[in-house]
Structure 1
Amino acid sequence: MTEVAFHFNAPDKLGYVCRFVRKALRHGAQVTVTAQPGVLAHLSARLWKSAPSDFLAHAGPGADPQVQALSPVVLVQQAEASPHRDILLNLGETVPEGLEGFARVVEVVSLDDMDRAMARNRWKDYAARGLAIQRHDLVLKGM
């Protein structure tokens, strides 16, 4: 069964996503990130601008399927478009279709009131599907 985790109170949402991806890659996981095109473009820029020793290789939206298969991180609008099934990091406004095929789904929630409200709706959707949800408060963890 798919595991779901919400990471709340990220002051810099995309910065946290970059750190999360880096850590997942160190553990040998492959990551799929879903979001709207504008968010994916900003995230892609952040991933490319990492320090040379911290480069986070990824395939952006519309990349050739062979490139996606070889990339440890894939940025897509639709989860089903990714060849990977380890971690689905959802930055979208709704629960992604096809989440059942992933081992883990991670939601990153900022301090923004609108982002928090949309996250509450996604939480309810996951719960209605019968999925167990873990909560990680980044303020308490000290990020």
Structure 2
Amino acid sequence: MTKVQFYHNTPDRLALACELVARAHAGGRQVAVRLPDGVQARKLDLMMWTSDPLAFLPHVSNNSPLAAETPVVLGVPGSDTDWPHTDLLVNLAEDLPPGFDRFRMVVEIVGQAEAEKAPARHRWMQYKARELPLKAFDAERRVAL
């Protein structure tokens, strides 16, 4: 059964995604990251190259020929129906990820703007209706809710 974690009140969603992906990768996990669009995907790609000068976070687009061999893959809605990994999915898009139930865990990162909170509430209700285990965290204060 897929476990779902929501990180609310996030001041910088891409920075938190980068941090969580780095931690997951360090722990040996394979990660799929679903971004809202290509602009955000490029920003996260750059962050993954520059966030820690002494670390290497191997990542590619989910449509790359190397996706199945790479521990971190990035995708956007429309190209996110066939992820090569099923361990951890980090969702930064506004809608429920297609095929999310194939993953062991889904992490939803929600910003501080009301425009991000409303779709997140809807996703929470969709996961809850499927009776999935849900946990919530305040990303800014770093505490469980």
Could you tell me the TM-score, scaled by structure 2's length?
0.89
Quick one: percent identity of the two aligned structures? 36
Q: 3-state SS of the aligned residue for 1:28? A: coil
Aligned length: 140
Maintained 8 Å contact 1:44/1:60:
no
Q: Distance in 2 between matches of 1:79 and 1:99?
A: 10
Q: From the two aligned structures, give the one with the greater helix fraction.
A: 1
Shift of 1:135: 0.5
Aligned twin of 1:132: 133
Shift of 1:61: 4.5
Long gaps (5+) in structure 1? none
Instruction: Deviation per CA, 1:92-118: give whole Å up to 9, x if none.
Output: 110011011100000011111111111
Q: Distance in 1 between matches of 2:129 and 2:39?
A: 29
Aligned twin of 1:29: 29
Q: Distance in 1 between matches of 2:61 and 2:97?
A: 18
Long gaps (5+) in structure 2? none
Instruction: Deviation per CA, 1:54-88: give whole Å up to 9, x if none.
Output: 22210124311xx1011110001244321111100
Q: Distance in 1 between matches of 2:2 and 2:38?
A: 25
Give matches, 1:37-76, under 5 Å.
37-64=38-65, 67-76=66-75
Shift of 1:46: 1.3
Aligned twin of 1:6: 6
Aligned twin of 1:17: 17
Coordinate RMSD, CA, aligned: 1.5
